[in-house]
């Protein structure tokens, strides 16, 4: 029989190996990524914008900006 004084019981506490916690975290990040991808793919407006952007890129209709000032300049024109 284990003495109750030997180790205090802390309610709502679970001990898990660090490796398992890391693997669970990695899996949750991958799952979130899949969900985000599905949300984008299911949104017709977003998919239309992506299709338009890819076509513009392939035609060379883009601007290269090397900093915030150039980004603002490109967006204002």
Distances from the Cα of 6 to the Cαs of 12, 44, 64, in angstroms? Answer: 19, 61, 66
Is residue 12 one of the residues assigned to a domain?
no
Is residue 6 one of the residues assigned to a domain?
no
Count Cα neighbours of 15 within 13 Å in the Cβ-side half-sphere.
2
- Determine the structural domain holding residue 27 and report its residue range: 18-76
Q: What is the pLDDT of residues 10-58, one digit of tens each?
A: 778 889 999 999 999 999 999 999 999 999 999 999 999 999 999 999 9
Is residue 55 one of the residues assigned to a domain?
yes
Is residue 66 one of the residues assigned to a domain?
yes
Q: What is the pLDDT of residues 50-76, one digit of tens each?
A: 999 999 999 999 999 999 999 999 999
Is residue 57 one of the residues assigned to a domain?
yes
Q: Number of structural domains, the chain?
A: 1
Is residue 43 one of the residues assigned to a domain?
yes
Q: How far apart are CA 17 and CA 10, in angstroms?
A: 18
Supply the pTM of this predicted model: 0.56
Is residue 33 one of the residues assigned to a domain?
yes
């Amino acid at each position: 029989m284990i003495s109750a004084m030997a180790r205090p019981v802390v309610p709502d506490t679970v001990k898990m190996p660090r490796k398992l916690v890391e693997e669970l975290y990695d899996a949750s990040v991958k799952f979130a990524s899949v969900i985000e991808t599905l949300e984008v793919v299911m949104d017709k407006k977003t998919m239309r914008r992506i299709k338009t952007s890819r076509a513009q890129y392939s035609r060379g209709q883009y601007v290269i900006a090397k900093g915030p000032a150039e980004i603002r300049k490109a967006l204002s024109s």
